[in-house]
Amino acid sequence: MNWDLILLLMFFLIVYIFYLTNKKKFDVQGKIFFLYRTRFGLKLMDKMSMFCPRLLKVIGITGIIVGFIGMITMLVLLIQTTIKLVIQPAAQPGLVPVLPGIKVSPLLPVLSFMHWIIIIFIVALVHEFSHGIFARLNRIKIKSSGFAFLGPIPAAFVEPDEKQMEKKSRKAQLSILSAGPFSNIVLAFVVLLLMLLIFMPIQQSLTENSGIIIISTISNYPANISGVQPGSIVYGVNSYEVKSSDEFLEFIKNNEDEFVLNTDRGDYTINPIREDGNNLIGIQATQIRDYKNKNLGTSFFGWFIELLRWLWIISFGVGLFNLLPLGPVDGGKMLMVGLSYFTKDENKIKTFWKYISFFVLGLIVINLLPYLVKLIMWIFSFII
């Protein structure tokens, strides 16, 4: 039984009940965005905006540059992955809905509900506080802050005075809009640096090679022809144990004969092919490691390592996603302000902005379709 998915559905139910019992306190926008206004953190935003304002202004300009680079990069990558997905339906989508209980990659464990809820809170708090700090830096009043729900997904918000913001320079507006995504990207790199310098070396000393996981197979190559599936864990060849990628590569390098690949999903008979003097079976794989002391994997240390791993992935992903030139997200608003550098015609700006937003929305839907199909099939598995 998938307890993480069950906890997620229970959480959605609790959110819905909370909304029904506090309906008058919510402001509903666009039928799917529910705002619950508070005064939380407003004084702290004021104090933080006064700390080293010159440095904050430099950070603001850096955020704008990173924001537009991220916007262009994300749009290009999303177009490329969408084209690949249309041509090859089995290809990996460019976007992944990171929800608890759902396997999103062979390289990652399933995200637990507790990790998810903690990370959503941290990422949303950092994102919105950054918007608030840069709004106050530019002397824009913050009307309110609070928590929100995009459908059933928890979020947070700060509400700057829009009229005051419109009167500010384009640079000031862009620094405020880019602050949220930029702070998420910075948080991701800080966490990644902590992991690489401190926690990963500790984890490396506490773990050992336990097998090789297959990330993908190449069409019309031996492994793919034999039916080897991505996500399979290789633990041997010809019934001999193989735990390290070096051992496995050495075997492939020196073996031209048919062999049996032993995996957790069954055994596969494979005939290597010879190309440019090398034996090939057509897989992309990586080493996996397990704790020497199995109890460590379920201890607080193991739990905390997974929290950090998911925090940097989700924070980085949220930052980049928010830079997409899409209607209501920060990237869409940045595009609107950025276009005013090239033309003063508001009708042209709004028309171009709408076309780009609908185009990006279409790309997102195409990339999420495989996961929506899986979700529908999972729901129907309980009904049928």
Q: Are residues 257 and 304 in the same domain?
A: no
Q: Are residues 184 and 63 in the same domain?
A: yes
d(Cα 288, Cα 245) in Å, to the nearest integer?
9
Residue 3 has pLDDT above 90, yes or no: no
d(Cα 112, Cα 109) in Å, to the nearest integer?
9
Sign of the C-alpha dihedral computed for residues 65, 66, 67 and 70 taken in this order: positive
Q: Are residues 277 and 375 in the same domain?
A: no
Residue 149 lies in a domain: yes
Token digits of residue 72: 């262009």
Residue 297 has pLDDT above 80, yes or no: no
Q: Which domain, by its residues, includes 82?
A: 3-203+298-383
Q: How many domains does the chain have?
A: 2
Residue 379 has pLDDT above 70, yes or no: no
Do 279 and 297 touch, CB atoms closer than 8 A? no
Residue 271 lies in a domain: yes
Residue 384 has pLDDT above 60, yes or no: no
Sign of the C-alpha dihedral computed for residues 179, 180, 182 and 187 taken in this order: positive
User: Is 198 or 96 the better-scoring residue by pLDDT?
Assistant: 198
Q: Are residues 84 and 154 in the same domain?
A: yes
Q: Are residues 88 and 41 in the same domain?
A: yes
How far is it between the farthest Cα atoms of the chain?
Answer: 74
Q: Are residues 18 and 156 in the same domain?
A: yes
Q: Are residues 79 and 112 in the same domain?
A: yes
Residue 325 lies in a domain: yes
d(Cα 6, Cα 378) in Å, to the nearest integer?
12
| Residues 6+ away with beta carbon under 8 Å from 191 | 308, 311, 312, 315
Q: Are residues 267 and 376 in the same domain?
A: no
Beta bridge pairs of residue 212? 234, 287
User: Is 383 or 59 the better-scoring residue by pLDDT?
Assistant: 59
Q: What's the mean per-residue pLDDT of the chain?
A: 90
Type of residue found at 64? I
Residue 104 has pLDDT above 90, yes or no: no
pLDDT in tens, 144-159: 999 888 777 888 889 9
Residue 214 lies in a domain: no
| Residues 6+ away with beta carbon under 8 Å from 1 | none
d(Cα 85, Cα 367) in Å, to the nearest integer?
8
Residue 289 lies in a domain: no
Q: Is 164 helix (H, G, I), strand (E, B) or coil?
A: helix
Q: Are residues 192 and 335 in the same domain?
A: yes
Residue 291 lies in a domain: no
Across 329-353, average pLDDT? 93
Among 281, 316, 333, the domain-final residue is: 281
Looking at residue 266, which CATH number applies to its domain? 2.30.42.10
Type of residue found at 222? P
pLDDT band at 180 (very low <50, low <70, confident <90, very high): very high
d(Cα 315, Cα 119) in Å, to the nearest integer?
8
Residue 202 has pLDDT above 80, yes or no: yes
117 to each of 7, 100, 148, 307, 312, how far by Cα in Å? 11, 9, 14, 11, 14
Q: Across 145-154, 180-189, 210-219, 318-327, which has the greatest mean pLDDT?
A: 180-189
Do 49 and 136 touch, CB atoms closer than 8 A? yes
d(Cα 211, Cα 206) in Å, to the nearest integer?
16
Q: Tell me what pLDDT residue 381 has.
A: 64
Q: Are residues 357 and 275 in the same domain?
A: no
Alpha-carbon radius of gyration of the chain: 24
Type of residue found at 299? S
Q: Are residues 273 and 370 in the same domain?
A: no
- Complete DSSP assignment for 99-146: -TT----TTSPPPPHHHHHHHHHHHHHHHHHHHHHHHHHTT--EEEEE
Residue 141 lies in a domain: yes
Q: Are residues 307 and 265 in the same domain?
A: no
pLDDT in tens, 127-147: 999 999 999 999 999 999 998
CB atoms within 10 A of CB 256: 12
Residue 292 lies in a domain: no
